[in-house]
Amino acid sequence: MAQSPIPRQIPVVVLAGFLGSGKTTLLNHLLHRSGGSRIGAIVNDFGSIEIDAMAVAGALGDSTVSLGNGCLCCAVDGSELDVYLERLARPDAGIDVIVIEASGLAEPQELVRMLLASEQPDVVYGGLVEVVDAAEFDGTRERHPEIDRHLALADLIVVNKTDRADAPERVLALVRSLADGAAVVASVYGAVDPEFLFDCRPGGERIGQLSFDDLHDHSRDGGPHAGHLHAAYDSLAFVSDVPLDPRRVMRFLDSRPEGLYRIKGYVDFGPYDPRNRYAVHAVGRFLRFHPEPWPAGSERLTQLVLIGAGIDAPALAKELDGCRDAGQEADEHGMWGVLRYVPDPEVEGTEERAEDPTVGTGPSDPPAEPDF
């Protein structure tokens, strides 16, 4: 059962969080640690003076679109957003990933709906990252009880300013209890690994053991920004010259542990689709597959990198070993689970998909909260 390849699309990541949580700091960290990727940003300030946009513009130059004096989800409809996305997605712009930094008062669920309803064919929704202030989390939750719903919708949650919190472990545990299975990452000064959000250094297939020192030039920053992020994370490289069974792969992905933040690479499904390999991109519970033709003369391998904190790498490797195809004849229904997570250009912009921001984010995700 072959799936026709679709044109490569630019992922659009939504960066949300209440006022003062550290979204702009995190975005600037990503801009300076992008590992060669070119990032386009849509920055939305609430107010007539666009402070956040000015803070980001110096790093991005003409790759910034600024939307001031209001919330993106309220002030811009889908067609207007498409105009900004089209500008950043032009081939001559050379953008690899687009980040929307929402106003601190924006409604994340509405932004997700707008992106899923986008008619811009060159972009694809890439997940929701929610930033919270660990030091002010209890107070923020009292003032804005809707934060519980925001956390339940997120694909990756960055608990920022943990160095300033009185009881950071308690806050992390509370956020995890509200996260509904999303990955939760602690940070100081917004320092998270870019690989959690997007693939760095596009154009080279960086499959294999990750070098976190390549991603972070620690000598450039001093003071509180410095430090080896990779010390807190583990990575696993998995390679197989035997095709994987799609049903077994989906069972593995459905049951991936809480600390497994990122999965990237290529999967060979063998007789289920001999023409294509499947690029896989998972951030937290967000999941996408992208079929693409096998490069001429390339060896047909499954190559995956898994990144997490406190993960049992040998156990994960054993589970992946168990995903190898047992040699049975492919049946027409075997790929159905995988194809749920292949973006369909003819479906991405429909009302049906726009009404449910959980489509394509995880097989066990609950329906989105209907009240805003």
Phi–psi pair at 264, nearest 5 degrees:
-145, 155
Cα separation, 159 vs 42, in Å, equals 22
Written as six digits, the tokens of 170 are: 């308690």
What is the third-level CATH fold of 234-340? Hypothetical Protein Yjia; Chain: A;domain 2 (3.30.1220)
- Domain ranges, ordered by start, for the chain: 10-200, 234-340
Q: Following DSSP, what letter does each residue of 7-70 receive, concatenated?
A: ---EEEEEEE-STTSSHHHHHHHHHHT-TTPPEEEEEE-SSSS-HHHHHHHHHHGGGEEEE-SS
pLDDT confidence of residue 370 = 28
Written as six digits, the tokens of 15 are: 């960066």
pLDDT per position as a tens digit, 341-350: 998 654 443 3
pTM of the shown model: 0.61
pLDDT confidence of residue 340 = 93
pLDDT confidence of residue 82 = 84
Which among 155, 147, 72 is positioned nearest to 111, based on CA atoms?
Answer: 72
CATH number belonging to the domain at 10-200, selected among 3.40.50.410, 3.90.550.10, 3.20.20.60, 3.40.50.300: 3.40.50.300
**10-200 against 234-340: fold identical:** no
The answer to whether residues 353 and 359 touch, using CB atoms and an 8 Å cutoff, is: yes
pLDDT per position as a tens digit, 204-245: 332 322 222 332 333 334 433 333 334 456 788 899 999 999
- Measured in residues, the chain has a length of 372
pLDDT confidence of residue 65 = 54
Mean pLDDT of the chain: 74
Q: Digits of tens for pLDDT over the chain (372 positions)? A: 555 555 668 889 999 998 788 888 888 888 887 777 788 888 765 433 333 444 444 444 445 555 544 455 554 555 678 888 888 888 888 888 888 888 776 788 888 888 888 888 888 888 899 999 999 999 989 988 999 999 998 888 999 999 999 999 999 999 999 987 788 999 999 988 887 777 654 333 323 222 223 323 333 344 333 333 344 567 888 999 999 999 999 999 998 887 787 788 899 999 999 999 999 988 777 788 999 999 998 899 999 988 887 889 999 999 999 999 877 777 878 999 999 999 865 444 333 333 333 334 443 333 333 232
Query: What's the Cα-to-Cα distance from 199 to each of 233, 259, 267, 362, rounded to whole Å?
Result: 17, 19, 16, 20
Task: Collect all residues with Cβ–Cβ distance below 8 Å to 368 and sequence separation of at least 6.
Answer: 109, 153, 356, 357, 358
The 10 Å Cβ neighbour count of residue 193 is 24
